[in-house]
């Protein structure tokens, strides 16, 4: 028999303990605000302040609670401190094999006209240009179940006066990783990150990386500069990898690897992994990883294929919590709401890592099935 009153009490206690850790050092009003928001987000599974207010069940009128939450979102001035406390709470789930997934996204608000700092973005859901905000994010895969735990996120707009470029925002995320993770943790990047600025940051710092390349990039092979698409045309396949996609589609991949270098870093030996069978064009992965294992190319391909989890994280954030439906206007409030939601989803990820340890978390895990694939 399941005692739901006891179960609910234990869940609340678990959330309260977590919020106590991440709000350590904050003032009492700030601690209450953080607890209210994270508990409200998890309980309501909505970014509407009205829905969050209803789950808090306070004696005050709901409109007064919404007013208080809105005011605190606007006045909360310690996002960096909260990120640091949150990272301290989740870092025990990472080790030397942790994979770091760097990817950007968008926050589309096509019907909004009055929000602060609206700019034109590429809507990943529709493929069209819409009004909204850009998003730079990083997720780390937890040690056991490889759940994506958000460790960095920043909403920004090209309309801001201090905006430099999207590349500069990516570099900010890389600096965060340099400060919080060892060089051996593999930074993985999709297409679009194969521009020179990423390598200019990673190679001098000797940080491990896997970057998906486009066929029109130049590399140096056997002393000659050549296009990747030309270099890989007649490459002999060396190993096989059977891959099953999330939709059940199976692929028989053929993998090969060769040594190359970049034109701007001719003295830095890199490996190019070529994987055929996942699409019309071969998958081209450039990495500075090296070992005596001849099947290194297979390992690199497997590591890269785990990066789809950050896409699922973004999907979960937008669909399960309706992040793009928020009704706060100022850019500062939007950023603070995103931070608190990222922390809440990170909390779900931590619980998913420990699903076999306790039955107290089953109801929260139910909310994360779309993302974490737990039956």
What is the DSSP pairing of strand 265-276 with strand 283-287? antiparallel
Structure tokens at 80: 């960096």
Q: Report the pLDDT averaged over residues 172-192.
A: 95
Q: Is 348 left (phi over 0), alpha (psi -120 to 50) or beta?
A: alpha
- How many Cα atoms occupy the beta-carbon half-sphere of 245 within 13 Å? 10
Say what percent of the chain tops pLDDT 90: 67
For the range 108-113, what are the long-range contacts, defined as Cβ-Cβ under 8 Å and sequence gap of 24 or more? 108/132, 108/324, 109/133, 109/324
Mean pLDDT confidence for 338-353: 91
Is 80 exceeded by the pLDDT of residue 7? no
Cα–Cα distance measured from residue 143 to residue 343, given in angstroms and rounded to the nearest whole number: 18
pLDDT at 360 over 60: no
Q: What is the reported pLDDT for 247? A: 66
Question: Which pLDDT value is given to residue 294?
Answer: 76
- Mean pLDDT across the stretch 23-39? 95
Mean pLDDT of the 319-337 span: 94
Q: Is the pLDDT of residue 371 over 50?
A: no
Q: Does 148 score more than 60 pLDDT?
A: yes
- Averaging pLDDT over each range in 7-21, 118-132, 237-251, which range is the top one? 118-132
Which of the four pLDDT bands, split at 50, 70 and 90, describes residue 135? Answer: very high
Q: For 246-263, what is the mean pLDDT?
A: 85
Q: Which residue has the higher pLDDT, 374 or 62?
A: 62
The helix, strand and coil proportions of the chain, stated in percent and rounded to the nearest 5, come to: 45, 25, 35
**Torsion angles phi and psi, residue 47, rounded to 5:** -95, 0
pLDDT of res. 76: 96
Average pLDDT, integer, range 107-119: 91
Summarize pLDDT for 61-95 with one digit per residue, the tens: 999 999 999 999 999 999 999 999 999 999 999 99
pLDDT of residue 113: 86
Q: How far apart are CA 245 and CA 320, in angstroms?
A: 22
Q: What is the pLDDT of residue 106?
A: 94
**What does the alpha-carbon distance between residue 188 and residue 285 come to, in Å, rounded to a whole number?**
10
Mean pLDDT for 317-344 is 94
What gap in Å lies between CA 325 and CA 109, rounded to an integer? 8
Predicted confidence at residue 300, as pLDDT, reads 92
Tokens for 308, please give them. 């789809």
8 Å CB contact between 10 and 18: no
Q: What is the pLDDT of residue 280?
A: 84
Q: Whose structure tokens read 């779309």?
A: 370
pLDDT reported for residue 234: 80
CA–CA distance, 348 with 368 (Å, rounded to integer): 7
- pLDDT computed for residue 358 by the predictor: 45
pLDDT value, residue 368 = 42
């Amino acid at each position: 028999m399941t005692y739901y009153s006891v179960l609910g009490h234990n869940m609340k206690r678990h959330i309260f303990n977590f919020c106590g850790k991440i709000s350590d050092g904050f003032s009492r009003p700030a601690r209450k605000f953080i607890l209210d928001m994270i508990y409200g987000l998890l309980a309501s599974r909505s970014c509407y302040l009205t829905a969050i207010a209803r789950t808090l069940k306070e004696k005050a009128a709901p409109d007064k609670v919404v007013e208080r939450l809105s005011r605190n979102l606007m006045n909360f001035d310690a996002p960096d401190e909260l990120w640091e406390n949150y990272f301290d709470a989740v870092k025990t789930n990472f080790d030397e094999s942790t994979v770091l997934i760097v990817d950007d996204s968008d926050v589309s608000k096509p019907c909004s006209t009055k929000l602060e700092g609206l700019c034109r973005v590429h809507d990943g859901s529709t493929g069209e240009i819409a009004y909204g905000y850009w998003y730079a994010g990083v997720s780390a895969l937890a040690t056991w179940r490889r759940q994506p735990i958000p460790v960095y996120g920043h909403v920004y707009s090209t309309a801001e006066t201090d905006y430099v470029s999207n590349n500069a925002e990516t570099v900010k995320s890389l600096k965060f990783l340099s400060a919080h993770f060892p060089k051996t943790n593999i930074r993985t990047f999709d297409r679009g990150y194969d521009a020179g600025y990423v390598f200019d940051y990673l190679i001098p710092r000797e940080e491990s990386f896997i970057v998906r390349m486009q066929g029109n990039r130049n590399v140096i092979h056997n002393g000659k500069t050549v296009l990747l698409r030309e270099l890989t045309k007649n490459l002999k396949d060396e190993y096989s990898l059977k891959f099953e996609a999330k939709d059940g589609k199976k692929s028989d991949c053929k993998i090969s690897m060769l040594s190359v270098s970049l034109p701007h870093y001719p003295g830095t030996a890199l490996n190019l992994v070529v994987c055929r069978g996942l699409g019309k064009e071969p998958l081209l992965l450039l990495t500075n990883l090296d070992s005596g294992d001849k099947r290194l190319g297979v390992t690199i391909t497997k590591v890269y294929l785990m990066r789809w989890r950050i896409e699922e994280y973004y999907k979960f954030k937008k669909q399960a919590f309706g992040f793009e439906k928020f009704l706060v206007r100022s850019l500062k409030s939007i950023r603070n709401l995103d931070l608190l939601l990222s922390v809440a989803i990170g909390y779900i990820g931590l619980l998913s890592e420990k699903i076999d340890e306790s039955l107290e978390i089953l109801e929260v895990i139910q909310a994360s099935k779309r993302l974490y694939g737990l039956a």
